[in-house]
A and B are shown apart, each in its own frame.
Chain A
Amino acid sequence: MIAQPKRQIALAGPVVALLRFVLVVALTFLGLLALTFFIGRVVPIDPVLAVVGDRATTEQYEAARVAMGLDRPLIAQFGSYVWDVLNFNLGMSVSTNRPVAEDLARVFPATLEMATLGIIIGVGLGIPAGVLAAAHQGRWIDQIIRVFALLGYSVPAFWLGLVGLAIFYAALGWVSGPGRVDIFYDGITPTVTGLLTVDSLLDGDWDVFQSALSHIILPATILGVFSLAYIARMTRSFMLDQLSQEYITTARVKGVPEWRVIWVHAFGAIRVPLITVIGLSYAGLLEGSVMIETVFSWPGIGNYLTTALFNADMNAVLGATLVIGSVFILINKVSDVLYRLLDPRSR
């Protein structure tokens, strides 16, 4: 009888944590919806006028206003907006004449493909660079990596994209230009995952794969450079924290080889905080892809967003904002939870 309440508490811990997590995500998501709803409200274009035209009589105007539900109190309008979004109804796109949700589902894999390759490049180069910088703190290699990381905060992504195109596509001819695949390969690969490099491999079509790879490699690398800067900076800072600890001195005194001290002892301790960093930069890449996609005419969500901006297609703009925002929030929160689950101190 005495043991029972104790076990309940032990069980309640994770359940409460899960409930709190769901609540926080739901509230943040509601906040995002409130923001997009608010942005949709402050648009100077009158949505009723856009439907009935400016020659409509007052009665026609009023009828359309009531039909669109714009005469209801703001909170009720927000309620139906939330309900629509939960049912994946994001309205019609003025420029493509298709439901925004359908458009977004079609373009999202392209962005996912580029961001994923970008994060692989960023992690693959950024972590070794950060560890190297910390192991040689204050030497020239550390300074180079420090300046490079600061450059990552100061170079406009769209500018680097243009310069990359001018050098590697126009001057050197090492990679293919804008777009996702050469025009004569377009649309011949059956869609399975939506990631063209994966789909063409599944299809066994080597030519399409090569063409797709030579199109994606430049934008993905440029995207990766930005996550590289952040990941290297954070890795260096985490490593410096660890390398000044006493257990590292102990290991060195015991005669453990230096590479083992760095890569096994110190690096082992920073893997968990690095997860959060990688999660954050992955989310940041989805955002950063907006500019890169515009420069490279990459048919992803960022390009969709900027095209919609030019056409004043507010439904599409808000829909894309909502999707990028939701993915961003989700990745952020999940990496937060992963950190707490994996870090033994926070148990």
Chain B
Amino acid sequence: MRAWLLDDSPASRGQAAAGRAYRIAGDLMRNPLAVVGSLIILALILTAIFASWIAPESPVGQDLSNRLMPPSAEHWMGTDELGRDIFSRVVYGARITLLIVGLVAVISAPLGLLIGAVSGYFGGWTDRVLMGLTDVFLSMPKLILALAFAAALGPGIENAIIAIAITTWPAYARIARAETLTIRNSEFVAATRLLGASHTRLITRHVLPLCTSSMIIRVTLDMAGIILTAAGLGFLGLGAQPPLPEWGAMISRGRSFILDQWWVATMPGFAIIVVSLGFCFLGDGLRDVLDPKSEGKS
């Protein structure tokens, strides 16, 4: 199996892809930070899937006789002002975080990829107009823009996702354009064009796949920022609405108790930090493995 994966002259595309994935995974596993990052993200995904088994109590069930209890053996992270078990709410919050992060990535990465590739591939006026637009978005403060969009669209988790996606695509467009510019004039693209391939086919089948590795690095590194922005919107009441156990919104609820019942606001914050750190670690590791030029730097 290992010999088949590491074969220098793979017999099929499938074998080549599997071999590449195997090598990357092997390199990643040798990078301690990347291992920690992968484990954290794996834990996040498993928590989100099995939330109803892991959480000891319902995330919305109130128990007013047990309100604002400090952390104990029964309530690991204490209870909030409505007597809800904070640990259970943090566990269910993993679903919301994963949903936000996943949807933002699914919306903004392909959008940025497409705009960047089209811009770089055609060049000329197409390039100037699209990149002008990208630059305008890039030179705006992201958080403020997301705030303004979320405020205009109205509070809610869908609108928060849209608002964040609107502010994240330009960075991806820039990367995709830079990659496309180096690929555009290569011989294999010219050869495929001579074979009669259409622009659409060239972009989607030959240019875009080569941009994906740098895109994956960038998206992973951006995840921490996306989580923080989403939590910030939740904190300001523009993201997920109560009683949804969104981590930022939970911190916001605990704000009034910060001086006496510190655990209400503090505990969800640890969840945000751990998950964001996980994405940072994995992103750093992926960059070291997939982009050896920048190894050891920054």
Measured CB to CB, the residues of A under 8 A from B are: 27-28, 31-32, 35-36, 39-40, 42-44, 137, 150-151, 153-159, 162-163, 165-166, 169-170, 233-234, 236-237, 240-241, 283-284, 286-288, 290-291, 294-295, 305-306, 309-310, 312, 314, 317-318, 320-321, 324-325, 328-329, 332-333
Contacts and interface: CB of A to CB of B under 8 A. Distances in A.
B152 A32 contact: no
Contact of A287 (B141, B148, B154, B281): B141
Contacts of A328: 139-141, 144
- Among A156, A163, A294, A295, max chain B CB count under 10 A is at A156
Contacts of A31: 132-133, 136-137
B255 interface: yes
Interface of B is mostly: helix
B298 A233 contact: yes
Contacts of A163: 262, 265-266, 269
Contacts of A309: 147, 151, 236-238
Nearest to B261: A166
A42 B153 contact: yes
A74 B272 CA distance: 42
A154 B255 contact: no
Given A154-B224, A309-B238, A325 B276 contact: no
Given A42-B153, A314-B152, A321 B144 contact: yes
Contacts of B228: 154, 156-157
B154 A44 contact: yes
A321 B251 CA distance: 25
B290 interface: no
B231 interface: yes
Contacts, number: 148
Enumerate the 4 nearest inter-chain pairs by beta-carbon distance, A residue then B residue, closest first.
Answer: A31-B136, A154-B276, A237-B298, A159-B269
Given A39-B152, A153-B280, A290-B147, A329 B139 contact: yes
A162 B236 contact: no
Given A28-B136, A31-B136, A234-B298, A159 B265 contact: yes
Nearest to A158: B235
Given A44-B154, A159-B269, A35 B135 contact: no
A165 B276 contact: no
B13 interface: no
A88 B280 CA distance: 42
Interface string B180-222: 0000000000000000000000000000000000000000000
Interface in B266-288: 266, 269, 272-273, 276-277, 280-281, 284
Contacts of B269: 155-156, 159, 162-163
Contacts of B142: 287
B225 interface: yes
Given A32-B140, A162-B266, 18 more contacts: A39-B149, A42-B153, A150-B280, A151-B273, A151-B277, A153-B276, A154-B273, A155-B269, A158-B248, A159-B265, A162-B255, A170-B258, A237-B298, A291-B143, A309-B237, A321-B147, A325-B140, A325-B144
Nearest to B142: A287
B277 A154 contact: yes
A39 B148 contact: yes
A39 B139 CA distance: 17
Given A153-B224, A166-B259, A321-B145, A43 B152 contact: yes
Nearest to B277: A154
30 contacts: A35-B140, A39-B148, A42-B152, A44-B153, A44-B154, A137-B296, A150-B281, A150-B284, A151-B273, A154-B280, A155-B272, A157-B228, A159-B265, A159-B269, A162-B251, A162-B255, A165-B258, A166-B262, A240-B297, A284-B141, A287-B141, A317-B147, A317-B148, A321-B144, A321-B145, A321-B147, A321-B148, A324-B141, A325-B140, A328-B139
A291 B269 CA distance: 14
B149 to A, nearest CB: 6
Interface residues of B, number: 48
- Among B143, B144, B272, B298, max chain A CB count under 10 A is at B144
B93 interface: no
A290 B143 contact: yes
Contacts of B276: 153-155
A43 B259 CA distance: 37
A343 B132 CA distance: 25
A317 to B, nearest CB: 5
Contacts of A237: 297-298
B132 A27 contact: yes
A169 B260 CA distance: 12
B19 interface: no
B232 interface: yes
B276 to A, nearest CB: 3
Contacts of B273: 151, 154-156, 159
Given A162-B265, A166-B259, A291-B232, A36 B224 contact: no
- Among A236, A328, A333, max chain B CB count under 10 A is at A328
B144 A240 contact: no
A294 to B, nearest CB: 7
Nearest to A233: B298
Contact of B298 (A159, A162, A236): A236
Contacts of B272: 154-156, 159
A305 B147 contact: yes
Contact of A294 (B137, B145, B236, B281): B236
Contacts of B259: 165-166, 169-170
A320 B144 CA distance: 9
- Among A150, A233, A234, A325, max chain B CB count under 10 A is at A150
